[in-house]
Structure 1
């Protein structure tokens, strides 16, 4: 069963603002003492996530099939990112799934005109193909991330209770959030105090 609550949603990990593929990979995460949360657990939460990352209007008609397709792509995106982190071969099934999403819709933004916006470039996909376009955009971002200079910066959060991914934009960046950093430091402090207590000489 998915946990789904906005009050426990962590702050975006470093890199999510620039790479929607990283944001998708982190859209399910562990909550200490509460289990797993999933921002794509339902059509409503999926619509909210797509709107938050700029891939759908807030009133988009997102059905369970759409949410399921996005969760499936997330599995493959995560697998490829983790393969990069671990410096191991990518799973062919995940490569195939991402490439299928990448080529499922035309990538070019067409020249369009209307009285309100006048000349502009936009995707020509109807609302029914909105999720197809979102999957293609995410897949393209993943390809750019892994094949570009930022690919070597992808890392796992250093907190034992966290599985989120981040971009290590500087050498000292270890955790995905301040909360994870504080949790690790508190655990180290507790362990240190316990060790000092155990090693203190007994008094009669």
Structure 2
């Protein structure tokens, strides 16, 4: 029996997502209230749609499980780098290596191939693999650009648990969306009410 995938309505993009594809990638897996999660890269079809919406793949790219898995893996490596940067902690060397590997994986020219019957020729790798490699390289390069730019000082995790999205802070805003801001304010108000109830 096939498992149905329930898609939550996506919150609006967090501050900085529209300028930085790597931020959108990290935020494509979201922790929701009530212990639920939403993963925009959960299936090959969802991965294809996410890439297409960002101009990184054609609609008919034909993503496979392996492609979606590669993108989810890069997402976790970038997430760990964003978390380290936002918290002022050292980065995991494996995450840095993963970003560099993704950026250098894409050949800059068609590769030499050799067919026993027709001899040498130049060709690019399998089209879907090439699309995924280019997308991974673009996302990794964007993450490297963001982490080394002055904007990195504004990189922060959403301040409304259980949300796990990242944003580029603007002013005092600490939330990725109005929904998270409202939830954080309601939690603070509730905490104040329960605290004042205990002191009386």
Same fold (TM over 0.5): yes
Distance in structure 2 (CA, Å) of the matches to 1:58 and 1:134? 14
Give the paired residue count. Answer: 184
Q: Which residue of 1 aligns with 2:52?
A: 51
Q: Is this contact kept in 2: 1:102–1:137, CA < 8 A?
A: yes
Gaps of 5+ in 1: 109-122
Q: Is this contact kept in 1: 2:15–2:168, CA < 8 A?
A: yes
Distance in structure 2 (CA, Å) of the matches to 1:3 and 1:37? 13
Distance 1:3 1:138, change over 3 A: farther
Distance 1:125 1:102, change over 3 A: farther
- The aligned runs of 1:1-204 (5 Å cut-off) are 4-106=5-107, 126-168=127-169, 170-200=170-200
Q: Is this contact kept in 2: 1:156–1:165, CA < 8 A?
A: yes
Q: Note the alpha carbon deviations across 1:90-131, whole angstroms, 9 max, x for none.
A: 1111111110100111469xxxxxxxxxxxxxx999444100
Deviation at 1:4, TM superposition (A): 5.0
Q: Is this contact kept in 1: 2:8–2:38, CA < 8 A?
A: no
What RMSD, in angstroms, separates the aligned Cα atoms of the two structures?
Answer: 2.3
Distance in structure 1 (CA, Å) of the matches to 2:125 and 2:19? 24
Ranges of 4+ aligned residues in structure 1 off by more than 6 Å:
none
Matched residue of 2:37: which SS?
strand
Distance 1:53 1:5, change over 3 A: farther
- Using the TM superposition, name which of 67-76 and 6-15 deviates more: 6-15
Distance in structure 1 (CA, Å) of the matches to 2:145 and 2:11? 25
Q: Is this contact kept in 2: 1:125–1:133, CA < 8 A?
A: no
Normalized against structure 2, the TM-score is what? 0.84
Normalized against structure 1, the TM-score is what? 0.82
Q: Note the alpha carbon deviations across 1:71-98, whole angstroms, 9 max, x for none.
A: 1111111111111111122111111111
Matched residue of 1:7: which SS?
coil
Q: Is this contact kept in 2: 1:3–1:38, CA < 8 A?
A: no
